[in-house]
Amino acid sequence: MFKSRLFLYWFAAQVGGLVLSGLACAKSVEQRVVTYLDSQAHTSLYPPAAGFYPNGMIMAQITDRLTWQDPQTLEIKPWIAERWEISPDKTRYIFYLRPGVTFSDGSALDAAAVARNYDTFGKGNKLLHLPPAEVFSNYDHSKVLTPYSVAFYFSAPSPGFLQGTSVLGAGLVSAKTLAHRFEELGTGQNIIGSGPFVVQNDIPGKEITLRKRPDYAWGPPNLGPASAAQLAGIHVIVIPEDSIRIGALLSGQADFIRDITPQDEAEIVRQHYCMYAPSTGGVSNSIAFHPENKFVQDERVRRALLLGTNRAEIVSQLFSPSYPLAKSILVAPAKGFQDYSDLMPFDPAKANALLAEAGWQMGSGGWRQKDGQSLTLTMHEAPQHPQSHEMLILLATQWRKLGVELRVISGSPGMTILDNLNANRTAMADVEVGRADLDVLSEELMAKHRNVLLQTGGQSRYAKTYTDSFLNTKLEALVSTPDETARQTIARTIQEHILEHALMIPVFEEPQVYVGTPALKNVLFEAVGRPYFYKAYFASQQGGR
């Protein structure tokens, strides 16, 4: 009975598909447009703002970068730059560009254009409100050597720069684009890149249509012979509601969707759709302590919380196999990764002992108390990360067994940002950064960058006392040591230091989950998990249906 009904549905779907394709016969079958559903709309498409997923997906299709990072080996390969020279102290980089590349407005992508891009990304432009990019640390200036070679100079060694030239935030755009103010870059048509797709139409908040650029002939050489894209275009539509995106895909109204909850994955796999869960390539999704907070100042308390967290339970209950259990601060595919699972076992007995040793005695109702005060920790959920709310609620029930109260707040974005800068209000935060280079550690931890531990010297006005000089020395060394092997050793030291002093609790390795129709083949992902449709094509005439 069940089977026959399934057959009926299948039959109905086939008939429906035939009717629909019959209706749509005017469209070219082979060069179809991909219908891509996203949960959020893009914002300002200034390249350094490409970290936001919807922005990154668009920038990956419409811009090229100087170099291409192999998502598997993480090696840096030629792209717009055919080759490069790096001074031994890593303060000067010379790139030799491939000639003949043009932006979609016809202007040439030459040394002058690259210099203009990098000067803007490296230093920002106050007049146009364009902020600098975080990946270009120590950037000083550029120099156009010949029409197709350009040099960049740094005030201090900048070993992460070569990888920085491959990230979406360093997407090359035309001079016209960089003449706009930041507030005008949310209009897709204003973003002129040299990529395999071009923005055709943009309805802010609703959809953006990309069409292929027929004369495109300079894709990353490692991806095979350069050619124009095989898709006619990509139609990105914003559908905020999870169940509607999935339903639309399963009923053939869409070809590719982003942002799948782990609970929906099983159904998608059962229906033989293709699930993609590329790693975002940087640090694990972690709980970062604010050691200046009076409750977690004591290392014993932090260690107790680390040992009292059943990370395996969180991963198995709330996530799917696409979300591996974190084994260190860095994710497993990252360079400099080492398995530090033995530094963070689940050991509630030891956790209880440590809390007692720190003076927190079990009081009435099973809550730990010291000097008449309860051990109550407060933190914000991070809605940009998957299942953040659920994860923190489960964490609260786990810590409840230790006698520790965890209060999870969900506030407006403004309130969250302000509270997360104030160690008096929040004891920790749920953090993650995606970048496939060791510099990700400095971006996450350095006071002048994201400063997740809230050390002094950062954005926080409230950070008064806490500073970890050992960590900072190592971070400085990491961003300025030219030798790659030495950098990896430093990165290991940093990870050990963080875990030994229980400054963070790594929970899971955050992927970005997408689902596509099986007919859509060869969707590639760049090193931080954004899809790249340059070589994608539809296999059968039925397309996705």
Partner 1 sequence: MARYIGYRLLHAALVLWGAYTLSFLLLQVLPGDAVLVRFQDPELGLSPQQIADIRQAYGADDGVLVQYWHALLNILHGRLGQSLGMGVPVVALLKITVPLTLRLAFCSIVLAVLLMLVGSYTALLCPPHTRLGKLVRSMPPAVHSFPIFWLSILVIQIVSFKLRLVSIIDVSDWGQVMLPALTLGCYLSAALIRVMVASQDRVYAQPLYQILQARGLSLLRIWGRHLLPNAIAPVITQTGMLFGELLAGAIVTETVFGLNGLGRLAGQAVSNQDVAVMQSIIILTATVFVVVTFVVDLVLLRLEPRAREAFKIRKTP
489 vs 22, 59, 61, 503, 504, CA distance in Å?
Answer: 61, 33, 35, 20, 20
Q: Minimum distance between the CB of residue 418 and partner 1, rounded to whole angstroms?
A: 5
Residues 6+ apart with CB under 8 A from 85: 93, 94
The residue from 54, 122, 186, 544 that contacts partner 1 (CB under 8 A) is 186
Decide if residue 235 touches partner 1 (CB under 8 A).
Answer: yes
Residues 6+ apart with CB under 8 A from 245: 37, 39, 239, 254, 257, 259
Residues 6+ apart with CB under 8 A from 7: none
The residue from 248, 277, 306, 344 that contacts partner 1 (CB under 8 A) is 248
The residue from 224, 247, 321, 345 that contacts partner 1 (CB under 8 A) is 247
Decide if residue 82 touches partner 1 (CB under 8 A).
Answer: no
The residue from 30, 183, 483, 500 that contacts partner 1 (CB under 8 A) is 183
Q: Minimum distance between the CB of residue 528 and partner 1, rounded to whole angstroms?
A: 12
| Count of helices and strands (H, E) across the chain | 15, 25
Q: Minimum distance between the CB of residue 514 and partner 1, rounded to whole angstroms?
A: 17
Of 222 and 410, CB closest to partner 1: 410
Decide if residue 313 touches partner 1 (CB under 8 A).
Answer: no
Of 317 and 410, CB closest to partner 1: 410
The residue from 32, 35, 395, 510 that contacts partner 1 (CB under 8 A) is 35
Nearest to 514 by CA among 503, 528, 530, 537: 530
- DSSP category for residue 476: H
Decide if residue 329 touches partner 1 (CB under 8 A).
Answer: no
Decide if residue 185 touches partner 1 (CB under 8 A).
Answer: yes
Question: Helix %, strand %, coil % for the chain, to 5?
Answer: 30, 20, 45
Residue 290-309 contact track with partner 1, rule CB under 8 A, x = bound: --------------------
Q: Give the integer Cα–Cα distance in Å for 152 and 410.
A: 43
The residue from 205, 214, 224, 321 that contacts partner 1 (CB under 8 A) is 205
- DSSP string of 100-140? T-B-TTS-B--HHHHHHHHHHHHH-BTTTTBPPPTT-TTEE
Q: Which of residues 447-476 bind partner 1 (CB under 8 A)?
A: 448-450, 458-459
The residue from 8, 14, 16, 222 that contacts partner 1 (CB under 8 A) is 16
Q: Minimum distance between the CB of residue 170 and partner 1, rounded to whole angstroms?
A: 14
Residue 66 token pair = 């100087």
Decide if residue 170 touches partner 1 (CB under 8 A).
Answer: no
> What would the 3-class secondary structure string for 339-395 be?
CCHHHCCCCHHHHHHHHHHCCCEECHHHCEEECCEECEEEEECCCCCCCHHHHHHHH
358 within 8 A of 301, measured Cβ to Cβ: yes
The residue from 146, 155, 227, 251 that contacts partner 1 (CB under 8 A) is 251
Decide if residue 8 touches partner 1 (CB under 8 A).
Answer: no
Decide if residue 527 touches partner 1 (CB under 8 A).
Answer: no
The residue from 237, 306, 404, 503 that contacts partner 1 (CB under 8 A) is 237
Decide if residue 22 touches partner 1 (CB under 8 A).
Answer: no
Stretch that binds partner 1, among 44-52, 63-71, 192-200, 487-495 (CB under 8 A): 44-52
Q: Minimum distance between the CB of residue 208 and partner 1, rounded to whole angstroms?
A: 12
- H helix or E strand, kind and range, residue 245: helix 242-250
Decide if residue 204 touches partner 1 (CB under 8 A).
Answer: yes
- H helix or E strand, kind and range, residue 473: helix 469-480
Binding residue count for partner 1, defined by CB under 8 A: 62
Residue 93 token pair = 């980089």
208 three-class SS: strand
Q: Minimum distance between the CB of residue 290 and partner 1, rounded to whole angstroms?
A: 14
The residue from 4, 28, 72, 412 that contacts partner 1 (CB under 8 A) is 412
Decide if residue 441 touches partner 1 (CB under 8 A).
Answer: no
Residue 533 token pair = 């449709």
CB atoms within 10 A of CB 532: 20
The residue from 102, 253, 489, 493 that contacts partner 1 (CB under 8 A) is 253
Of 132 and 348, CB closest to partner 1: 132
Q: Give the integer Cα–Cα distance in Å for 57 and 51.
A: 9
Burial of 252 per CB tally in 10 Å (0-12, 13-18, 19+):
middle
* Strands 274-276 and 285-289, bridge-based pairing: unpaired
- DSSP category for residue 467: -
Of 20 and 394, CB closest to partner 1: 20
- DSSP category for residue 325: B
Stretch that binds partner 1, among 244-252, 365-373, 488-496, 515-523 (CB under 8 A): 244-252
Decide if residue 377 touches partner 1 (CB under 8 A).
Answer: no
Q: Give the integer Cα–Cα distance in Å for 38 and 55.
A: 11
Q: Minimum distance between the CB of residue 19 and partner 1, rounded to whole angstroms?
A: 10
Of 247 and 359, CB closest to partner 1: 247
The residue from 217, 417, 486, 539 that contacts partner 1 (CB under 8 A) is 417
Of 64 and 134, CB closest to partner 1: 134
Give me the residue label for tokens 């699972």: 341
Q: Which of residues 113-142 bind partner 1 (CB under 8 A)?
A: 124, 126, 129, 131-132, 134
Residues that bind partner 1 (CB under 8 A): 12-13, 16, 35, 37, 41, 43-46, 48-49, 51-52, 124, 126, 129, 131-132, 134, 182-187, 203-206, 235, 237-241, 243-244, 247-248, 250-254, 384, 411-415, 417-419, 431, 433, 443, 448-450, 458-459
